[in-house]
Amino acid sequence: MTTSDMTTGDQVRHPADSASPTAAASGRPSALLHAIAPALVFLAVRATGVAVLTVMSARAGSDVVRKLTTWDGAWLLALAEHGYAGLPADHLDAFGNRTAETALGFFPGYPGVVWATSWITSGSFEAAGLLVSLVAGVVAAHALARIGELVPGGSRRAGLLLAGLFAATPMAVVLSMSYTEALFCAAAAWALVGVLRGQWLLASAWAAAAGLVRPTATALVAAVGLAALVAAVADVRAGRAGWRPWAGGLLATTGVIGYLGYVAVRTGRPDGWFAIQREGWGWYFDGGGATAEYLGAVLLGGERVFDVLTLVAFAGSLVLLGLLARLRVPWPLLVYGAIALLTVWGTEGLMNAKLRLLVPAFVLLVPVALGLARRRIGTAVGVLVAVALGSAWFGGYALTIWPYGI
């Protein structure tokens, strides 16, 4: 598929979404509302989630800020404040241990951005962490709205629904926490926009940035790199001397490979980061054996809401991947979604965290957004409101009732 093949969705529009000359001339407020609509949809859904969490936190005798900065969030904020070398002694791995390399299991992108943002928040790292996630979520919402327009059959309405569904996934509460998901999704979504537009330097720069935030960037690097390679080969065959796809494909790898290489040098072993994850946090690729065993146990005797919903979400993720392939969306989106899903399905580790690890696989929501966009506005809004309320309750449940880490 050529670059032009992947960008044909840019010309597809829902009739109701086309601005008439009268609407265009109606004044600046309408244009401003159109521009910020993805942010408004995202913020409305997430504000609902945080409001419900606030109530549930108060009933549990805690406060909402503490809940939003817990678990891995506490590690990330400590890294932002103290750096890798000065981390407080009470920060231990999943087995209660601590080595000189333990902290290297966390990628530096999010702590670095939080550290820089702390200058704005008068040195409050908690406020900085939450502000970074908030802004990153809005940035991601705008990229997702663009993806919803660019895919074949897409429209402005589909884009807004995609942004809203992203903010209302079962564990979307993590987008409001001092976690890496919001920042990673912002970079990943804009990288995919760059691919759909054939803007290789834009796509690769965002992919490189994502590679400093989460290891999930391997899925993004694969999608961007392969798409750039296909475009470069197409240029050669057409007799064009295009250097951007070649440069973009290389640049996309620098973030994740650069950090993994750094950890390899620090630990003195090529698989240094993977060893830290396995020995300190219990995460490693096992081909899906542990996930299958866990889901089988839930299916045969699961009684807890969290476990049952995890089972439903995992089954749903496969269905959505199949629908994504059936829609024949631009193949880089399918590559990203499939590999992102593989990293969740195929790893041993804390099963309670896997529901939030599905959040970066946001491209799986494209079929739902496209389907809802074809329905009446009332139906689409009603569905979005329902899933937003469900997500709000479940996010509160996960942080105030569920006793294990996410």
- SS3 letters for 211-249? CCCCCCHHHHHHHHHHHHHHHHHHHHHCCCCCCHHHHHH
- Note the residue count of the chain: 406
Spell 238-271 as b/e; 16+ CB within 10 A means b: eeeebebbbebbebbbbbbeebbeebbeebeeee
3-state secondary structure (DSSP) of residue 127: helix
What pLDDT shows up at residue 216? 93
Q: In which band, very low, low, confident or very high, does the pLDDT at 27 lie, cut at 50, 70 and 90?
A: low
DSSP one-letter string for 147-160: HHHHSTT--HHHHH
Q: Which of 267-281, 344-358, 372-386 has the lowest mean pLDDT?
A: 344-358
Distance from first CA to last CA of the chain, Å, rounded?
A: 39
Please report whether residue 29 resides in a domain.
no
What pLDDT shows up at residue 403? 85
Q: Higher confidence at residue 154 or residue 301?
A: 154
Q: How far apart are CA 61 and CA 54, in angstroms?
A: 11
* Two structure tokens written together for 315: 């089954």
Residue 126 scores a pLDDT above 90: yes
Closest by CA to 294, choosing from 321, 322, 278, 314, is: 314
pLDDT digits (tens, 9 = 90+) for 69-124: 999 999 999 999 999 999 998 898 888 899 989 999 999 999 999 999 999 999 99
3-state secondary structure (DSSP) of residue 124: coil
Q: Which of 6-15, 127-136, 155-164 has the lowest mean pLDDT?
A: 6-15
Please report whether residue 28 resides in a domain.
no
- Quick check: 99 and 150 in contact, CB under 8 A? no
3-state secondary structure (DSSP) of residue 117: helix
* Two structure tokens written together for 49: 């989630």
Q: How far apart are CA 15 and CA 20, in angstroms?
A: 10
Please report whether residue 25 resides in a domain.
no
Mean pLDDT score, 129-137: 98
Please report whether residue 332 resides in a domain.
yes
Task: Write the CB contacts of 362 (distance below 8 Å, at least 6 apart in sequence).
Answer: 140, 144, 162, 166, 169, 185, 188, 189
Q: In which band, very low, low, confident or very high, does the pLDDT at 22 lie, cut at 50, 70 and 90?
A: very low
User: Which structural domain range is residue 272 located in?
Assistant: 3-16+34-400
Residue 20 scores a pLDDT above 70: no
- HSE-CB of 201 using CA atoms within 13 angstroms: 3
Residue 18 scores a pLDDT above 70: no
Please report whether residue 228 resides in a domain.
yes
Spell 312-331 as b/e; 16+ CB within 10 A means b: ebbeebeebbebbeebebbb
Q: How far apart are CA 169 and CA 394, in angstroms?
A: 10
What pLDDT shows up at residue 302? 66
Q: How far apart are CA 353 and CA 371, in angstroms?
A: 29
- Quick check: 327 and 311 in contact, CB under 8 A? no
Please report whether residue 241 resides in a domain.
yes
Please report whether residue 43 resides in a domain.
yes
Residue 14 scores a pLDDT above 90: no
* Two structure tokens written together for 136: 């990153």
Closest by CA to 189, choosing from 179, 173, 202, is: 202
- Quick check: 114 and 128 in contact, CB under 8 A? yes
Residue 2 scores a pLDDT above 70: no
- HSE-CB of 86 using CA atoms within 13 angstroms: 6
Number of folded domains in the chain?
A: 1
Please report whether residue 237 resides in a domain.
yes
Mean pLDDT score, 5-30: 46
DSSP H or E run through 130? helix 125-150
Q: How far apart are CA 247 and CA 229, in angstroms?
A: 10
What pLDDT shows up at residue 24? 43
Q: Which amino acid is at 53?
A: L
What pLDDT shows up at residue 301? 72
Q: In which band, very low, low, confident or very high, does the pLDDT at 242 lie, cut at 50, 70 and 90?
A: confident
Q: Which of 46-55, 157-166, 263-272, 341-350 has the lowest mean pLDDT?
A: 341-350
Q: How far apart are CA 68 and CA 134, in angstroms?
A: 12
Q: In which band, very low, low, confident or very high, does the pLDDT at 8 lie, cut at 50, 70 and 90?
A: very low
Q: How far apart are CA 317 and CA 157, in angstroms?
A: 23
Give the percent of the chain with pLDDT over 90: 79
Mean pLDDT, the chain, rounded, equals: 91
pLDDT digits (tens, 9 = 90+) for 282-325: 988 999 999 999 888 888 776 688 888 989 999 999 999 999 99
Closest by CA to 39, choosing from 151, 134, 110, is: 134
pLDDT digits (tens, 9 = 90+) for 33-82: 999 999 999 999 999 999 999 999 999 999 999 999 999 999 999 999 99
Task: Write the CB contacts of 179 (distance below 8 Å, at least 6 apart in sequence).
Answer: 72, 73, 76, 110, 133, 356
* Two structure tokens written together for 342: 């593989």
